[in-house]
Structure 1
Amino acid sequence: MGLPARRPHAPAEGRARGQGGRVMAPFPKIHDLYVSRMVVMTVLLTWTVLVGLDVVNAMISEFGDVGKGNYGLLDAVTYIVYTIPRRAYTMFPTVAVIGALMALGQLAASSELTALRALGLSRRRLSLSVAAPLLVLTALMMVNGETLGPWGQRSADGMKTAAKSKDMAVAQFSGLWAREGDIFLNAQNGQEHADGKDTWLELDDVRLFEFADDGRLESIARVATAEHRKSGWLLRGVKRTYFEGNSVTQTEVMEEHWTSQLDAAALAASASNLWRPRYMSARDLRDGINYRKRNGLDASEFEEHYWGRWFYPLNVLALCLAAIPFAFGTLRSGGAGKRLFIGIVFALGFWLLQMQFVKLAGVYRFDYRIAYLMPPVVMLGVSAWLFRRRSG
């Protein structure tokens, strides 16, 4: 009596099928961890290289400011170090797609992807193995973009402003500070305006603290807006409180001219550093939007960057999923240069497409959410089409 015939081993996913033919394989398995580890290592290496190049380029640019005021070489290095978290956040979507393509290209070139497919792994399962670690890194970058990144950029700008000008300082929570003789200016918000060839600086929610020679506080003025024109400073909505001995008096005027030698160009540079929406957290952007809407100001720039924060993870996912199908065909041949080229083309194409949609939203005043949603939808559509084509 012979031995019973041995049943051939079923493919990896076939063994995991339960009743009804549904896949019951848990996630992750060894092959998932292997692919994920390869993706993470390649992404981290790519991240280090690209952020390093960005830091070197920024350092060269910072050397041009060394020697202005008390801004020295050590200050320039400190400034760059503070901005590294923000640079890592900004660079990550590009790093993710290039790193994923490099990792999958390496697996394809060594026929490891072919071996995994022979075990019964579907393209969807391999895509999940790639997307899972990228989602974890994306979550970390979102936390970084809301905490360490804005704090580091704000600290760097404040340190640089204070070093370059002894009469100005930028504080994270109290806004812009400047000194003009015995008067100290504090502005919570500000921006530059242009009308043809005429440009001017406008500061909002301004406080003017005037001190006597003996250090006594003489008056506090609350100013709705302060505009710096060629003729000088024009203060609008001025409410001033005078402190005289044991008495306090208050005055209120609609407009008042302020003769001051305060450097408006330096103030404008400091204001642009302090209130750059692209470097703010989502919470600060939301507060800025509410502030501008309450005061009848244009909030489009803040809305643009605010919704950009929310669509950040979708951008990363769409970029990587659209690039993954190339690993099953195009990346099997060719070296690292080809993979790098494809990754850069994908990243640049995506950002150019999104930039155009966002600019159109600003010009034609339609919802920024639509502008940010369209490019990921296009990329995910390309990914789905490429998957069907590769499967055919």
Structure 2
Amino acid sequence: MKLRPMRFDLYLGRAVFSTVLLTWAVLVGLDVVMAFSGEFKDVGKGSYTLGHAAAWVLYTVPRRAYTFFPTAAVIGSLMGLGQLAATSELTALRALGLSRKRLSASVAIALSLLTAVMVFSGETLAPWAQSRADDIKMSAKWGNSMAVARYSGVWAREGDTFLNAGAGDEQLLPGGGTKLVLRDVRLYKIGDDGRLASLTYAGSAEHGSDGWVLKKVRRDTFGERSATRETVESEPWNSRLDAAALASGISKPRNLTAMDLRTSIEYRKRNGLDARDYEDIYWSRWFYPVNVLALCLAAVPFAFGSLRSGGMGKRLFLGILFALGFWLLQLFFGRMAGALKFDYRIAYALPPIVMLAVSGMLFRRKSG
């Protein structure tokens, strides 16, 4: 099978490019509009204005484009090839002696170019732009009382106390609502003389309807010539720090580069912390191009069969069905890896293998 570029490669590539880009623009555009409308509820908090909301949404576009590209790729590919199949152009190319595998390779080459651009953007432009978006929102809504360090989580100040949390997340409560859980928490209290008065370490700090609660607490208090330590399992923390502000300040793993994720994983393992959330996102980055190409190649056989007699609605439905099925399969294996604690590389390798196996069976059936 010869793989040197031919005129039909450019023709197929152009057809797929145009429909993928159109689908991509629609999906990202809808997401941007929904995100912008969702920011209206925060306008007026602090100095957060409609202009800040617009700037925040625009800075998040590269990340949204990266996220929606796999879905746009499979829907756009099916639509592009389906249009060629509906006008019998794929049949004409087959009559020239081109195999289904050769035509599929042309589609894969075209999508590889866009995938390479997305991988590069996902490691450079998207994290930088997302960081700028978060800075804009935090500085406008909560002023200068919040700061985010690259690997040290979030820092906040309340009076003479400085808080540092290594990680955290918001959890759903059984009766409704959410609570913020910060992990690997350190509280530095500064005395009137400018020296460190006490250092408190807590395994976690939870904010619910009753305020803040510190758990697994170890406190070192420093005097002129002495230091004392006390440990308690749990104690209330009388603080008026805004939980929403802290939640916004925590760097989410999905917004980090692969290099930053790797550094965070090593940091957490050195300190005996759970790094599986970071490992999940880290390995998903490595399998991103594999997933895109596997998903699109698995959908290609439909363009050689029933799509010739189907309309745009049928192609769109099958594209969405394929993308949704693959996403659910990947989510299932990812959750299984987290629950059973097996290697995320296996979890992310299984979905494309399954999809390619299905594609191979469809190819053989349609060739028969």
The TM-score bracket by the shorter chain reads 0.7 to 0.9
The 1:200/1:109 distance shift into structure 2, 3 A limit, reads: closer
Equivalent in the alignment of 1:386: 362
Shift of 1:155: 2.2
Matched, 1:80 2:57: yes
- Tell me the C-alpha RMSD between the 2 structures: 3.0
- The alpha-carbon distance between structure 1 residues 44 and 221, as it changes in their structure 2 partners (threshold 3 A), is farther
Matching of residues 51-66 of structure 1 within 5 Å: 51-66=28-43
Question: Whole-Å Cα distance in 2 between the matches of residues 301 and 316 of structure 1?
Answer: 22
Q: Does 1:332 align with 2:308?
A: yes
Q: Label 1:129 to 1:172 Cα distance change in 2 as closer, same or farther (>3 A).
A: farther
For 1:13, the equivalent position in structure 2 comes to: none
Inter-partner Cα distance in structure 2 for 1:250 and 1:151? 46
Whole-Å separation in 2 of the counterparts to 1:46 and 1:318 = 19
Q: Quick one: distance in 2 between partners of 1:95 and 1:196? A: 36
The equivalent of 2:138 in structure 1 is 161
Determine if contact 2:212/2:237 at 8 Å carries over to the other structure: yes
1:355 aligned onto 2:335: no
> Alpha carbons of 1:99 and 1:143: their partners in 2 closer, same or farther (altered >3 Å)?
same
> Structure 2 CA distance, aligned partners of 1:193 and 1:52?
29
One-letter identity of the residue aligned with 1:253: R
Structure 1 residue identity aligned to 2:341 = R
1:115 corresponds in structure 2 to 92
SS in 1 for 2:30: helix
Matches within 5 A, 1:127-146: 127-146=104-123
Q: Residue type of the partner of 1:171? A: V
Say whether 1:323 aligns with 2:279.
no
Partners of 2:238 and 2:327 in 1: how far apart?
A: 44
1:300 corresponds to: 276
Structure 1: which amino acid aligns with 2:182? E
In 2 relative to 1, CA 99–199 (structure 1 residues): closer, same or farther, beyond 3 Å? Answer: closer
Kept in 2, the 8 Å contact 1:183–1:211? The answer is: no
Single out whichever of 73-82 and 105-114 deviates more from structure 2: 105-114
Q: Relative to structure 1, is the Cα distance of residues 241 and 143 closer, same or farther in structure 2, using a 3 angstrom cutoff? A: farther
Identify unmatched segments of 5+ residues in structure 2: none
Residue 44 of structure 1 deviates from its aligned partner by 0.9
Change over 3 Å in CA distance of 1:126–1:67 after alignment to 2: same
Q: How far apart are the structure 2 equivalents of 1:63 and 1:386?
A: 47
Structure 2 residue 245 is the aligned partner of structure 1 residue 263: no
- Offset at residue 105 of structure 1 (A): 0.7
Structure-2 separation of matches of 1:120 and 1:260: 77
Task: Determine if the alignment matches structure 1 residue 208 to structure 2 residue 185.
Answer: no
How far, CA to CA, are the matches of 1:339 and 1:231 in structure 2?
52
CA contact (8 A) 1:228 1:264 kept: no
Q: Unaligned regions of 5+ residues in structure 1, if any?
A: 1-22, 243-247
CA distance in 2, matches of 1:304, 1:325: 31
SS of structure 2 residue aligned to 1:103: helix
State the one-letter code of the partner of 1:296.
G
Tell me the amino acid that sits aligned with residue 154 of structure 2.
L
Q: Which residues in structure 2 correspond to 1:1-392 (within 5 Å)?
A: 23=1, 25=2, 27-166=4-143, 168-171=145-148, 173=150, 175-191=153-169, 201-204=181-184, 206=186, 208=188, 210=190, 217-219=194-196, 223-225=200-202, 227=205, 234=214, 236-237=217-218, 251=227, 253-255=229-231, 260-263=238-241, 265-271=243-249, 274-392=250-368
- Kept in 1, the 8 Å contact 2:148–2:251? The answer is no
Q: TM-score, normalised by structure 2?
A: 0.86
What TM-score do you get using the length of structure 1 for normalisation? Answer: 0.81
When Rg is computed on C-alpha atoms for both structures, the one with the higher figure is 1
Count matched residues.
Answer: 359
Deviations 1:56-96 (A, max 9, x none): 11111111111112111011111101110000000010000
Counterpart CA distance in 1 for 2:348 and 2:32 is: 28
Deviation per residue, 1:334-364 (Å, 9 max, x gap) = 2211111110010001111111111122222
d(CA) in 2 for partners of 1:32, 1:371: 34
Deviations 1:238-288 (A, max 9, x none): 56789xxxxx978463549896533252354234xx232232222222222
Alpha-carbon contact 2:66-2:118 (below 8 Å) kept: yes
- Report sequence identity in percent: 53
Alpha-carbon distance between aligned partners in 2 of 1:334 and 1:196, rounded to the nearest angstrom: 46
The amino acid across from 1:378 in the alignment is V
In structure 1, distance between residues paired with 2:206 and 2:301: 56
SS across alignment from 1:208: strand
Q: 1:239 to 1:101 in 2, by over 3 A?
A: same
Q: Deviations along 1:138-174, whole A, 9 cap, x unmatched?
A: 1111111112212222221232122222353243526
